[in-house]
Structure 1
Amino acid sequence: MSTYLSIPTITGNWLEANQSYLMKAISDVGEALQHHINQIAEAANNGKMEQWKEGRAFKADSENFGKDKENFHYPTTESSESSALEQVCNIFDLSLFERNVLLLCAGRELDRTWSSLFVKAQDNHQQDYPTFSLALSVLAEPHWSALMPNASLRRWRLIEVGAGNTLTTSPLRIDERILHHLMGVQHLDERLTEIELPMPVTAYLVSSHEYVAQHLADTWLQTLVDETQILPVLQLCGTEVASKSAIASTACTFLGLNLYAISAEAIPTNTNELNLIKCLCEREWMLSDRVLLLDCDQLETMEASRNSAISRFIETINCPLIITSRDRRNQKQRPLITFDVDRPTSEEQQSIWQNALGNIAPSFQGHVETLVSHFSLSPTDIQTASLRVKSLVKKIEGQRDKETEKSVASTSPYLHLWDICRNQARPRLDELAQRIEPSASWNDLVLPDKEQQILHEIAAHVAQRTKVYKNWGFGSKSGRGLGISALFSGASGTGKTTAAELLAKELRLDLYRIDLSSIVDKYIGETEKNLRRVFDAAETGGVILLFDEADALFGKRSEVKDSHDRYANMEVSYLLQRIESYRGLAILTTNLKSSIDQAFLRRLRFVVQFPFPDAKQRAEIWQRVFPSQTPTEGLDFTKLAQLSVTGGNIRNIALNAAFIAANSGDSLGMKHILQATKSEYTKLERSLADAEIKSWV
């Protein structure tokens, strides 16, 4: 590892010496102020007040601007380390006059008796504050250039100029951050604290992420040694949000630097406000070696003005800057050195799990590998999940009576941990798709044996993916095509969503429905961006993705006739590419399989046809649709099977009939189903044939 820089530690002795030095410097300015007051009193006693005022009037001499800087040397403290006042003077290149203006303002904050001195010195009961006019009259080696907006006092916001009729008579106040710094207290400027983001605490980095952190530090190290160079902007890209922050924090620790973060969404679009934030960030770097992390991870779509403001901020800020973003940002002029942050490898995740689980790790022997194969959690998420399951195990061990043992025996700690991992993975995807709580079972699905067998094969592929891909080596052959994909085709109501539900329930995975018709965008490139957000969020794992209405994207578009077809093919190819590399199960549904080109179908691993149910299958659906608790009377499933409807329609009719029967106080019978059937057919805009309901009632 390289030898990195370090910052001296502030000791109690230094704080005492610093405060003593500051108060002595303020006292010296106070003496000058008192001397000025005495001169006013003497002139008043001698009746020569007007002449005295004329003699003290400041004459601006452009030839003398800033000359005192050439010969002025700051006094030193008895300590080997510079005082905070000396540091500020050196950092911002303050002249003796500018230094004393700062102390004049600090004196009012630290000694309440100074307000009366300002009143006497300015012979005005309303002026109990310092002004430039007073400073020019009282302090040594005055020069008008100190009042300029681009001079240090105002350029770096060391003082604040209040409202007034003229610049020289407006109230002056020392900036709060600077006052605290002079007192030896370090804290982030309050205006930055208001938009500061919390930095995640990470116990350690995995080796691949530590390597990136060291690379970041080495990139900056040479520039820090050579003070004539400007530090390059570093960019961390990828979906591992917490890991990127941890990498940036570790790199700064290597260099002995401090790190704070603000969201790019907090960057103002107003030019004056933007310049203020930029100035404060630069000042923090100069005062306390604070490195800014600009978090662009949450920026998905934004207005042009905000994007322009962020780019301008990055281009012009003159302090160390680290950017985190999902995708690479491009700047017009300022180069960005980009580092891609990948998810921890499977081996690294297993190591994190073992360390995080601690003494209960043996209880999960053999299960950790399965967890890693289904969930790709960040180190922070793994530690959180481990804390939760350890708390659960401790609770179970503390409850040893027979009744409790019986209740906890039904669910093992491993299954609890599995569900905890599912919860950890949910938040990002909940914003992008609809989570369906699976309730269906194999008994709820009526399909021919062939289609049933394919569904069982899909479940086996998901459950055994670790054994086949890793233990048996199939995953090492190629990283492509390892995703498990399926197409469910059939008319609406034939059981496509029900099949997805039962797979999710059997595999103990979450099911998220994505409506492709709402994702397809008319603007070029937006569809891929929408799909990328979904897949990036789902990569955390434990999820079955159900892409509904695939016809919206998968029309017969392999033959390119115009630019629209070409871009449509690009969108389809992107979706299939992400499905093939997705570590979980992705299901596409369509009402019309023939609308999907064969070239696309060949890239899907499973195709399941959900046929329109025949009379025998409809009779079976009717028999299964009513819960065992439902009071029924005189139901004839053979007659009910005469209705030429899908399983979805049958469920709607059964539920509606149950409400009708409950409202009438009867057991559910054929007459209630007949009434519900008429309502369903009206909704379907179909005519109910006599043959379908012959001799029902």
Structure 2
Amino acid sequence: MPPREEAIPYGSDQEYLDDVLALASLRLHREVLLTRALRGEGRQESFLGLFLTDREVETLLSEIHGVGAPDPRTGAVAAGAVEARLAAHARTVEARVRATPHALPPQRLAEHFGLSNVQSDLILYLFAAEVDQRFGRVYGYLHDDVGRKRLSGALAYRLLGRAVGSLARFRALLHPRSPLVRERLMVVGEEGTGEGLPLMERPLSIEDPVVDLLLGSPRMDRSLTGLLEVVEIPPEPGYRSSVEALRRALPETGGTVALSLTRDADGDLWAATLGEVLGLRVLAMDWRGMEGIDGPRRRTLMDRALREARLHGGLLHLRHLEDAADGALRELAPLLRGVVCLSSRRDRPWSEVGLRVLEVAPPPLSVEARSRHWARALNGGVPVARALATAYPFPVRDMETAVRSSVELSGARDDAELEAAASAACRRLAARRMEGAATRVHTPFRFTDLVLPESTMELLEELVLHHRHSATVLDDWGLARRFHQSRGSSTLFVGPSGTGKTMAASVVANELGLELFRVDLSGVVSKYIGETEKNLERVFDAASRSRVVLFIDEADALFGKRSEVKDAHDRYANIEVSFLLQKMEEYDGIAVLASNLGQNIDEAFLRRIRAVIDFPMPDAPHRLRLWERLHASDAPVHDDVDLPFLAERFELSGGHIRNCILSGAVHAAAAGSPIGMEHLLRAVGREYAKIGRPISRTAFGPWWSAVRKGMT
């Protein structure tokens, strides 16, 4: 017995695919020979003037598999030659596949989707027509209609019948719930053919992503452009223990994992760590991109996204399911297969919508971990990375995309320029995320611009220091674990209108290099039960993803002095207050409440606030400093202006003094003259009238008549 030749491994995917197509053509040739025997010789098939002879179809197949040209007398290749070549070629392909050390494309497809040999063979027959038009012509010949160039169920059964068994078992392969159809590896029928066609007569096809994978050059489904992306971020060692625990629990969960984010959790980063442990790439789909898409189209896109994940050996992460309606989640439940991460920034009724999930809560990232990711994203030094990690604890994906690209475009040359460019990019990103949730307040003010009592200034400086050094105190020194201390700074600013509360909040934001956003609480509070909480949830969710200084103004709209609950309205008002306090305590940034009436806020509320800063009405010396800002400008000022007189006589807040200076300047500009005492006093008179104070001769002195005349 001659020694068996050692099989040669396949050197490339294309070499293997050529052999597979030759094998498919030999099987088709066998079917053609059988068809010719049943039909009789010399028959031509026609469609719209086209035709394909017996000799032509055999020539086409011979060109593919190379058995030999048809006999010139009969136009046929000997059946024995085809059978012998088919058996020998099948053995060769099988031996070379075993000898190849890596998985070939059809094997990877079968492994990812758990396909049987019959299912794999059916996919290859469909693939053949996509990459070589000669197969389509042969399918038309075997259909008795050369216009039908796609494989049909009936023809596929003729080719695979011996392997699949009964017709009932084959029809099950075409059912919507079969793996091939459900996973969108095979499409049964096509638009325009109608459901009226018998199942076995409907055309079968595969879509481009499956073809590309089999060709060894996988590409993302074009219909998912802008919806699905590959997550290319490094795993996080700090998540590994929770991921390993989850991996051990996966067999008990049915394969679907709901990733319920804690305040500091990074969903993509956690999914990347899980993907590394499972040996899978991570593909992320943002649910917000599905808004406005109708149900059937949304289901199709979800099917394709799940197919993409499995085609590429990936793990699908569905982000921002907090924006999905319960009905959409109910549609999603039966579509999910395998291991899928679902992330939402609020609790969702997973079990109520039919999802069996395993809830996980990734631990918050430490400043050290965030610094490491910042340093990698920006190729920056440790001091820069730590400063950014402290000020902007953004998800790693944001560091890797929006922020890094902005920094690269900036051309930063040293650490200082790098930090400035990254901070500016972070502020722009924060502003985009807060759009629609709150109003941006942009001012250039710093501490030197404030005119406040020394005690108030000290508390404001302490607020800045607390936030700036919280990472050192809570993380490096371990006091967060010791005292269970939150990272946020919930602060109450109390004082009459115009005493500098908004300006002080902007100074705090500017000192920390953060954006300031104002929320008018009077516009958030709703008379409808539950709506106030939803509005507040939206604001704090946006803020937590942006890490801005949140200035909640007009707190008196919600915080009255709480008394004994007498009816449902009182009880609901208390619920709203408690909800806001809860969100402030959970927020890791700076949240400032502003109230004009401190006496209306009860002690139970004050106990849950970290700091209370008082903004009193300015006394005469402070008022004089506020009036003196007039001389610090470029405006022309008349010699008759008596600023000490204005400061001593008129008890106005800083906001009111600003209004008087601007109003007086406008009237002076209109008269074409410098700003004079009469302009300013008339402005004071208008301000007094606006706030309901009397214009007395005692206060205005010698200018009383001029002021009265100017207001009549």
Instruction: Quickly name the TM-score band, shorter chain normalised.
Output: 0.7 to 0.9
Q: Which residue pairs with 1:49 in the alignment?
A: none
Give the match for residue 489 of structure 1: 494
Cα deviation, residue 554, structure 1: 1.5
Cα shift at 1:667? 1.8
> Which residue does the alignment assign to 1:22?
21
What amino acid sits opposite 1:343 in the alignment?
P
Once residues 444 and 229 of structure 2 are traced to their aligned partners in structure 1, the CA distance between those partners, rounded to angstroms, is: 39
| Structure 1 segment 171-190 matched on structure 2, within 5 A | 172-177=203-208, 180=211, 183-185=214-216, 187=218, 190=221
Deviations 1:480-515 (A, max 9, x none): 477544432222222222233334444554433222
3-state SS in 2 of match to 1:167: coil
| Aligned residue number for residue 337 of structure 1 | 358
Q: Which one-letter code corresponds to 1:293 in the other structure? A: H
Aligned in 2, Cα 1:530/1:212: closer, same or farther, shift over 3 Å?
farther
2:600 paired residue number: 595
Match of 1:323 in 2: 342
1:661 to 655, 668, 682: 668
Matches within 5 A, 1:362-511: 364=383, 374-379=391-396, 395=413, 427-429=432-434, 432-442=437-447, 444-459=449-464, 461-462=466-467, 477-480=482-485, 483-511=488-516
AA partner of residue 80 (structure 1): V
Partner of 2:175: 150
- Note the 1:87-106 alignment, pairs <5 A: 105-106=126-127
Once the two structures are TM-superposed, the CA of residue 650 in structure 1 deviates from its matched residue by 2.2
Where does the alignment leave 5 or more consecutive residues of structure 1 unmatched? Answer: 1-9, 46-73, 224-228, 398-410
Q: Which secondary structure state, in structure 1, belongs to the residue aligned with residue 333 of structure 2?
A: helix
Q: 1:259 aligns with which of 282, 287, 309?
A: 282
- Match of 2:351, SS state, is coil
Aligned-pair CA distance for 1:344: 1.4
Which among 628, 634, 657 is matched to residue 650 of structure 1? 657
Q: Is contact 1:285–1:319 with CA below 8 Å preserved after alignment? A: no
Q: Which amino acid aligns with 1:647?
A: G
Quote the Cα distance in structure 1 between the aligned partners of 2:308 and 2:380: 44
Q: Which residue of 1 aligns with 2:320?
A: 296
Amino acid at match of 1:200: V
**Cα distance, 1:31–1:437 mapped onto 2, change above 3 Å:** same
Corresponding residue for residue 64 of structure 2:
none
Using the TM superposition, give the Cα deviation of residue 159 of structure 1 relative to its aligned residue in structure 2, in angstroms. Answer: 3.8
- SS of the residue corresponding to residue 343 of structure 2 reads strand
Identity %: 29
Q: Distance in 1 between matches of 2:376 and 2:297?
A: 46
Once the two structures are superposed, the pairs formed by residues 75-86 of structure 1 within 5 Å of their partners are: 77-81=94-98
> Once the two structures are superposed, what CA deviation does each residue of 1:341-364 show, in whole Å capped at 9, x if it has no partner?
232123434555677777844xx3
The one-character-per-residue Cα deviations of 1:58-110 (angstroms, maximum 9, x if unpaired) are xxxxxxxxxxxxxxxx97633235876688789687797x8887666555434
Deviations 1:133-156 (A, max 9, x none): 666788866975445752757566
Deviation of the 1:161 alpha carbon:
1.6
Q: Which moved more, 1:210-219 or 1:270-279?
A: 270-279
Paired residue type of 1:190? D
Amino acid across the alignment from 1:77:
E
Q: Deviations over 1:301-332 (max 9, x none)?
A: x5xxx422323422553332221222343323
1:391 shift after superposition:
9.4
For residue 440 of structure 2, give the secondary structure of its aligned residue in structure 1: strand
Relative to structure 1, is the Cα distance of residues 673 and 217 closer, same or farther in structure 2, using a 3 angstrom cutoff? same
Matching of residue 216 in structure 1 with residue 246 in structure 2:
yes
- List aligned pairs for 1:533-682, cutoff 5 A: 533-535=538-540, 538=543, 543-580=548-585, 582-613=587-618, 617-633=622-638, 634-641=640-647, 642-643=649-650, 645-673=652-680, 676-677=683-684, 680=687
Q: 1:346 aligns with which of 364, 367, 370?
A: 367
Partner residue in 2 for 1:161: 189
Relative to structure 1, is the Cα distance of residues 655 and 521 closer, same or farther in structure 2, using a 3 angstrom cutoff?
same
Distance across 2 between alignment mates of 1:415 and 1:117? 66
Q: Which amino acid aligns with 2:257?
A: V
Instruction: State the one-letter code of the partner of 2:367.
Output: S
Query: Contact 2:181 / 2:187 at 8 angstroms: preserved in 1?
Result: yes
Residues of 2 paired with 1:239 and 1:131: CA distance?
53
Kept after mapping to 1: 8 A contact 2:480/2:486: no
Counterpart of 2:655 in structure 1: which amino acid? Answer: G
**Residue of structure 2 aligned with 1:245, choices 265, 268, 272:** 268
Displacement of 1:590: 1.1
CA distance in 2, matches of 1:100, 1:452: 78
SS in structure 2 opposite 1:78?
helix
CA contact (8 A) 1:435 1:510 kept: yes
Tell me the distance in 1 between the aligned counterparts of 2:387 and 2:18: 60
Structure showing greater relative contact order (alpha-carbon pairs closer than 8 Å, 6 or more residues apart): 1
Q: Following TM superposition, by how much is the alpha carbon of 1:682 offset from its aligned partner in structure 2, in angstroms?
A: 6.4
Contact 1:425/1:540 (<8 A) preserved = yes
Q: Which moved more, 1:459-468 or 1:12-21?
A: 459-468
**What is the alpha-carbon distance in structure 1 between the residues aligned to residue 301 and residue 314 of structure 2?**
14
How far residue 236 of structure 1 moved from its aligned partner, in angstroms, is 4.5
Q: TM-score, normalised by structure 2?
A: 0.72
Alignment gaps of 5+ in structure 2: 1-8, 45-89, 707-712
Give 1:249 shift.
Answer: 2.7
Supply the AA of the counterpart residue of 1:218.
Answer: R
SS in 1 for 2:503: helix
- State how far apart, in whole Å, the 2-side matches of 1:360 and 1:89 are: 46
CA RMSD, Structure 1 to Structure 2 (Å): 4.7
Equivalent-residue separation in structure 1 for 2:489 and 2:144 (angstroms): 85
- 1:259/1:293 contact within 8 Å kept: yes
Contact 2:494 2:596 in 1 (8 A): yes
Deviation of 1:372 (Å): 5.2
Match of 2:94, SS?
coil
Matched residue, 2:522: 517
1:310 corresponds to: 329
Deviations 1:1-37 (A, max 9, x none): xxxxxxxxx9644541233123321343155347636
Moved more, 509-518 or 609-618: 609-618
Q: Distance in 1 between matches of 2:447 and 2:126?
A: 79
- Following superposition, the deviation at residue 555 of structure 1 comes to 0.9
Q: Deviations over 1:584-631 (max 9, x none)?
A: 543321111121113323443443443344566544422224543111
- CA 1:452 to 1:625, structure 2 compared with 1: closer, same or farther past 3 Å? farther
| SS of structure 2 residue aligned to 1:630 | coil
